[in-house]
């Protein structure tokens, strides 16, 4: 059963097995994003509960213009970004002033990022800024398009491209710095 079908049945009959199915499909994924973003197990557990509750309370608002997974992930990222902003007292995770960023000479290829070993990637993601981490997860973990990321972050597509470029550069730099002996 595809996601939209499950949602229709849930909304019509409040069927418990539809809830189970969606929880099975997305519970772990939401948790994974929460722990990657918040870097704290207990916080990630609470966040997963709150995000899932939010999703189910707003299920009727899902308009099927995007994939259900994209909608779920955008709620998750927005929740985590809001939490981090509140915690860091209005820190701007995705600042607009890209003119302040240093010019990047050669773009890091996707292959270079996707060839990082999982144990290295875990450490690198922890070291990255919250905004950089989020944008890399959206692109490489969730397969979101530039357009989808731009709409989620309320930024222009060119700003998102620049952010991704910067984040990839930082990830490469961190890999060289943290895993010198393995490099």
Partner 1 sequence: MNNFQQLQNEFEGDYERIGASNKRSIESTLSTFKFIANIFEVYLPKIGDLLIAFAGGRKDTSKPHSNPSSTPPNLQDFDSNRNI
Tell me how far, at minimum, the Cβ of 171 lies from partner 1, in Å. Answer: 11
Rounded to whole angstroms, how far apart are CA atoms 161 and 153? 12
- Contact between 29 and partner 1 by CB under 8 A: the answer reads yes
Tell me how far, at minimum, the Cβ of 111 lies from partner 1, in Å. Answer: 10
Helix (H) or strand (E) holding 147: helix 146-153
- Contact between 68 and partner 1 by CB under 8 A: the answer reads no
Integer-rounded Cα Rg, in Å, for the chain is 18
Residue 102-131 contact track with partner 1, rule CB under 8 A, x = bound: ------------xxxxx--xx--x------
Task: Candidates 1-9, 49-57, 73-81, 89-97: pick the segment binding partner 1 (CB under 8 A).
Answer: 49-57
DSSP-derived secondary structure letter, 60: G
Residue 137-176 contact track with partner 1, rule CB under 8 A, x = bound: x--xx-----------------------------------
Q: Would you say 27 or 91 has its CB closer to partner 1?
A: 27
Q: Which of 183, 20, 31 is nearest to 115 (CA)?
A: 183
- Phi, psi of 63, rounded to the nearest 5 degrees: -100, 5
Three-state SS at 39: coil
CA neighbours closer than 13 Å in the CB half-sphere of residue 166: 22
Rounded to whole angstroms, how far apart are CA atoms 79 and 130? 13
Q: How many CB atoms lie within 10 A of CB 140?
A: 16
- Contact between 179 and partner 1 by CB under 8 A: the answer reads no
Q: Would you say 95 or 117 has its CB closer to partner 1?
A: 117
Residues that bind partner 1 (CB under 8 A): 14, 19, 23, 27-29, 31-33, 35-36, 45, 48-49, 52-53, 56-57, 114-118, 121-122, 125, 136-137, 140-141
């Amino acid at each position: 059963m595809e996601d939209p079908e499950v949602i229709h049945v849930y909304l019509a009959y409040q069927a418990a097995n539809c809830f189970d199915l969606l929880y099975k499909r997305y519970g772990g994924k939401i948790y994974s994003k929460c722990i990657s973003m918040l870097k704290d197990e207990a916080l990630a557990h609470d966040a997963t509960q709150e995000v899932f509750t939010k999703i189910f309370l707003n299920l009727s608002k899902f308009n099927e213009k995007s994939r259900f997974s994209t909608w779920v992930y955008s709620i998750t990222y927005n929740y985590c970004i809001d939490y981090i902003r509140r915690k860091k007292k209005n820190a701007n995770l995705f600042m607009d002033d890209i003119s302040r960023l240093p010019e990047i000479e050669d773009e890091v290829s996707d292959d270079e990022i996707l060839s990082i070993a999982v144990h290295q990637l875990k450490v690198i993601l922890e070291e990255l800024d919250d905004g950089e981490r989020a944008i890399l997860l959206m692109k490489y973990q969730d397969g979101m398009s530039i357009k989808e990321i731009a709409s989620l972050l309320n930024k222009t597509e060119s700003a998102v491209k620049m952010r991704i470029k910067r984040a990839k550069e930082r990830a490469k730099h961190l890999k060289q710095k943290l895993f010198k002996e393995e490099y």
